[in-house]
Structure 1
Amino acid sequence: TIHFLDNLMVVTQFFVFLYCKLLWRGLKFVVRKFTGRCELQRICYNNKHGARRTLKIESSLRYSKNELLQSALSVHPDKVEKTIDDVMALKKINPDTNPQLSISLQASLLQIVGYRSLVAEVEKLRREPYDSENQEHEDMLMKLWKELRPDTHLAGRISKQWCEIGFQGSDPKTDFRGMGLLGLHNLLYFAEHDKATALQMLHDSLQPKHNEINTAEWEQKNLDKAIGFSFAIVGINITDLAYSLLVSGALKTHLYNVAPEMPCLMHFQQTFCYLMQEFHRFWIEEDPSDIMEFNRVRSKFHRRILRQLKNPDMALCPHFSASDLHLVNL
C-alpha cells in the first residue's frame, strides 16, 4: 500500500508539473498575441539594464525549447553579434523598427557569456599550484612583501618574517595549496589597488589581542581596535569565499550590475577587495573571544553577503575606489 501511494504521488506530481508547463506556454502565447511582443522583447522593454534584465533573459534562453536560443548561452563572445541577428530572425523581429532590442540583447548576452568565461579563468588560476621554481610566481610573492612591508628587508626566501604579513610558517607556498595562484593574485591586487586599506588591515592584524604570533617586539597603539587575525591567511579564506560565490552563481547579481558588458578578472578582484574590507569591519563588530571563532564569523559573514545578493538591484562595489567601498542599492 505504501509503495502504491508513493507511485501515485510521483505520477500526480508529474501531471501537475506537465499541466503547469502547458498552462505557462499557453499563457505566453496569449500574451504575445495580445501585446505583439515575444518574451525576450517584453523582458528588454520592461527591465532596466543590469541584473534584473540579464537574469530574466538568461532564464528565458535556458528554458526555451528552441536549440538556437539554448545554445546562445554558451556562444563564443566573438559570435554574440551574429547570434543576436539569428535570434531576431527566428523571432521575426524587424531590427529597423526595434533597434534598441538588439543592443539590449547583445549587452545582456555578453554579460552571460562573460560570466562563464570568468568562472573558467578563475578556476584555472585556482587549480594552478604555487611553484617556487617558477620565477613569475616568486616575483609576485616578493612583490607582495614589498607592497606590505616596504621598509623591512626580507632576510631570505624562507623566513619566519612571512608571519609578519600573516602566513603560517616560513614558506608561504604551503598556504596557497587550497586556492592556488588565485589566492596570491588576489592578495597582490588588494595590496596594489587598495593599499591604504590593506596596510591598515595588516596593522590591525598584528595587534596582540587574539593573535597567536609573538608581537612583543611591536610597539602598538589603539589596542581597542585590535583584531588579531593572520592577514594573508584571511585573504586566502576570503578568496575561497569569493570563489564559492562566483561558481554558485550568487555573484551574477553583483557582476551584472557593475559590468556594462563582459565581467572580467578585474571585477572579481575588486569584489575580493570589497569583501576583505567588509570582513575586517565585520570581525571587529563581532568581537570574537579568540581566533578559534574564525569559522563561525566567516560563515555568518558569508550568509550576510548571500542575503544581500538576493536583491537583483544590489551591487557590492559599483565604483571601486581605494578605502571607499560601501554597499549601495542602485
Structure 2
Amino acid sequence: MMLASLWACVYSRFLRGWLKWVLRLLTGRCELQRVCGGARAGARRTRGIEHSLELSKNKVLRNAVYVGEDEVEKCVTDIMKEKKIIEQKNKDFKTDLQVCLLQISGYKQLYLDVENLRKVPYDSDNEEHEEELIKLWNLLMPHENLKARITKQWCNIGFQGDDPKTDFRGMGMLGLVNLVYFSKHHASEARQILSHSNHPKLGYSYAIVGINLTEMAYSLLKSGALKSHFYNAVPGLPNIEHFHQFY
C-alpha cells in the first residue's frame, strides 16, 4: 500500500510530465488529443479527459473540470488556444472535448440537484408533499381507499407506522419522489414487488427498502461511482430524470 502511494506520488510529480512530453514529440498530439482519438465516446473517453485535466499543471486545463454548462464552449476554445490546437485541423477534437466537458459539468450539477431534493424535509403542511404521498398510495393500492391520512393502512405498503412522514427523515423528498417515480413508470413491477414484500416468511417493508435504495443510489452518486454509468448512458448533460431511471 505504501509502495503504491509512493509510486503514484513519484509518477504524478516527475515521470508523468516527462512521459507526456515524449509522447507529444512522437505523436504530434497532446494528451487530450490522444485520449479523444484513442477511445470511443462514453465513460472511457470522458473519464480519461477528466483525469488528464485534474492532473494538469496548467491552470486553464485544471479549472476546466469546474466550469458550468454555459461556460463549456468558451472553455474548449481556451484549452485549444493553450495547447496550440488548430480548430480547422481538429474539428472532431473540439466537438469531442465539448461533449466530455458537458458530461463532467452535468454530473456535478446532477449531484447538486439530487442533494437539494434530499435536503427538502417532508412537510405534512405542504400540499404538494401530501399530494405526492397520496399519489404513491393510489399507484400501489388502486383498489383500496385510505380511511384517513394517519392510519395503520400505510403499513400495508411498507411504512413503519401510522404516519409515513417520519420515514423520510434521512432522504427527505428524494425518497418519496423515487418511490412515486418507480410506482408510476413501472406500475406492474412495483405492485408485483409489493405483493412479494407481504410474504409471511420472506417479506420486507416495501417503502422502507425503497428509501434505503434511494440512500444507496445517492451515496454512489456522491462518491463518483456512477460516473461511468452516466457517461455511458447519457451523451450530454445528465439530469435528475436520469437519476430516477437509475433508481
Give TM class, smaller chain. Answer: over 0.9
1:169 to 145, 161, 167: 161
Separation (CA, whole Å) in 2 of partners of 1:190 and 1:20:
44
Structure 1 gaps, min length 5: 1-8, 211-227, 273-330
2:17 to 14, 18, 25: 25
Question: Which residue does the alignment assign to 2:224?
Answer: 249
Paired AA for residue 265 in structure 1: I
Q: CA deviation at 1:103?
A: 0.7
Separation (CA, whole Å) in 2 of partners of 1:144 and 1:16:
50
Separation (CA, whole Å) in 1 of partners of 2:212 and 2:39:
36
Question: What are the equivalent positions in structure 2 for 1:215-234 lying under 5 Å apart?
Answer: 228-234=203-209
Structure 2 gaps, min length 5: none
Paired AA for residue 175 in structure 2: G
1:103 to 80, 83, 95: 95
Separation (CA, whole Å) in 2 of partners of 1:139 and 1:15:
56
Cα gap change, 1:144/1:250 in structure 2, threshold over 3 Å: closer, same or farther? Answer: same
Separation (CA, whole Å) in 2 of partners of 1:50 and 1:19:
26
1:35 to 27, 33, 37: 27
Question: Which residue does the alignment assign to 1:295?
Answer: none
Separation (CA, whole Å) in 2 of partners of 1:50 and 1:68:
23
Q: Which runs of 4+ in 1 moved over 2 A?
A: 13-21
Question: Which residue does the alignment assign to 2:149?
Answer: 157
Separation (CA, whole Å) in 2 of partners of 1:67 and 1:195:
50
Q: RMSD value over aligned CA atoms?
A: 1.7
1:64 to 56, 60, 71: 56
Separation (CA, whole Å) in 1 of partners of 2:12 and 2:196:
56
Q: CA deviation at 1:133?
A: 0.6
Separation (CA, whole Å) in 2 of partners of 1:169 and 1:16:
52
- 1:156-194 CA distance string (max 9 Å, x none): 110100011110100000000011000001000000111
Cα gap change, 1:16/1:270 in structure 2, threshold over 3 Å: closer, same or farther? Answer: closer
If asked which structure has higher relative contact order (CA below 8 Å, sep 6+), I would say 2
1:263 to 225, 238, 241: 238
Separation (CA, whole Å) in 1 of partners of 2:143 and 2:6:
68
Question: Which residue does the alignment assign to 2:76?
Answer: 84
Question: What are the equivalent positions in structure 2 for 1:281-300 lying under 5 Å apart?
Answer: none
Cα gap change, 1:79/1:206 in structure 2, threshold over 3 Å: closer, same or farther? Answer: same
Secondary structure at the aligned position of 1:96 is classed as: helix
- 1:127-177 CA distance string (max 9 Å, x none): 110000111100100111111111111011101000111101000000000
How many residues are treated as equivalent by the alignment? Answer: 245
2:213 to 238, 243, 247: 238
Matched, 1:203 2:195: yes
Separation (CA, whole Å) in 2 of partners of 1:101 and 1:111:
15
Q: CA deviation at 1:33?
A: 1.0
2:178 to 167, 177, 186: 186
Separation (CA, whole Å) in 2 of partners of 1:157 and 1:233:
19
Secondary structure at the aligned position of 2:145 is classed as: coil
Q: CA deviation at 1:83?
A: 0.8
1:145 to 114, 123, 137: 137
Separation (CA, whole Å) in 2 of partners of 1:179 and 1:20:
38
Q: CA deviation at 1:209?
A: 1.6
Greater per-residue helix proportion: 2
- 1:252-289 CA distance string (max 9 Å, x none): 111111011111111111111xxxxxxxxxxxxxxxxx
Percent of residue pairs bearing the same amino acid type: 54
State TM-score, norm by structure 2.
Answer: 0.95
Separation (CA, whole Å) in 2 of partners of 1:184 and 1:252:
24
Q: CA deviation at 1:70?
A: 1.3
Question: Which residue does the alignment assign to 1:113?
Answer: 105
Cα gap change, 1:230/1:95 in structure 2, threshold over 3 Å: closer, same or farther? Answer: same
Separation (CA, whole Å) in 1 of partners of 2:155 and 2:133:
14
